[in-house]
Amino acid sequence: EAQVTQNPRYLITVTGKKLTVTCSQNMNHEYMSWYRQDPGLGLRQIYYSMNVEVTDKGDVPEGYKVSRKEKRNFPLILESPSPNQTSLYFCASSLSGRNNYGYTFGSGTRLTVV
C-alpha cells in the first residue's frame, strides 16, 4: 500500500531533551515536507526537500532540523524542544516539487513538550 509512515504517533517529552520524528514513504516520491498543525492556524510548513541532500526552510523552521540522506526518509529533529513546539506534526510527500501534484500525508505525530 502506498503510504507515508510517521513514528511515533504520540510523544510526550521534557524541555530540552533531543528527539527525532521519523518519516518514510514507499512511493519513490522526490518531494517531502514537514508541517505542524495548530488550531486556527491550519498547517504551516517547517521544512521541505526537493530531493536527496536538497532541503530548504518553510515558514516556521526555527527550532527544527531535517536531513534527507535517502529518498524514502525525511526525519524531523528537535535538538532542544520547548513547550511552544507542542503541536500535531505531519509529514507529506509528492511525486515532484517542480509541478503541482497532490500531497500524501502521514497520519500525524502528536507531540507534547512539558
Please report, as ranges, the residues that interact with other proteins according to CB under 8 A.
Answer: 4, 31, 33, 35, 40-45, 48, 50, 56, 58-59, 90, 92, 94, 97-103, 105-108
Read off the C-alpha cell for 24. 518514510
- Residue closer to other proteins (CB basis): 80 or 107: 107
**Cα–Cα distance between 7 and 106 in angstroms, integer?**
9
CB closer to other proteins, 85 vs 109: 109
Write down the least CB distance from residue 101 to other proteins, Å. Answer: 7
**Three-class secondary structure of residue 78 per DSSP:** strand
Strands 10-13 and 109-113: parallel
In the complex, least distance from residue 103 CB atom to other proteins, rounded to whole angstroms: 7
CB 90 → other proteins: shortest distance, Å?
5
**Cis-peptide, bond into residue 8, ω within 30° of zero:** yes
Q: What span, in angstroms and rounded, lies between the C-alpha atoms of 71 and 107?
A: 20
Residue closer to other proteins by CB (options 92, 111) is 92
